[in-house]
Amino acid sequence: DYRSQNKPTDVISFPIDEPIKKGRVDGEVTILGDIFLAPEMIDGDIIRIIIHGLTHLLGFDHKGQREKEKFNQIIKKQWSGKN
């Protein structure tokens, strides 16, 4: 079990290589990894779900409270840029 959780998810990300420095992408083209969506589990805007998966590929997580707050901050910032 990749997530160590016995429940379905709406999105899951798999980095293609070693984790990058949090939030830093160097070069013109960077393959970060794969993002898999489970449409039947998505409750809301798919763009927000994709941003969530991409944030994981950029090296961020939400396991602890501090990490969760930072993760949510990043998503909120990216989400606000959409509108």
pTM of the model: 0.75
Q: What is the DSSP letter of 36?
A: E
CA distance 25 to 60: 13
CA distance 28 to 9: 31
- pLDDT greater than 90 at residue 34: yes
Confidence of residue 3 (pLDDT cuts 50, 70, 90): low
Q: Are 71 and 60 within 8 A, CB to CB?
A: yes
pLDDT reported for residue 16: 84
Q: Are 73 and 40 within 8 A, CB to CB?
A: no
Over the stretch 40-65, which tens digit does the pLDDT of each residue have?
Answer: 888 878 888 899 999 999 888 888 99
Using a 10 angstrom Cβ sphere, with 0-12 exposed, 13-18 middle and 19 or more buried, the burial of residue 27 is: exposed
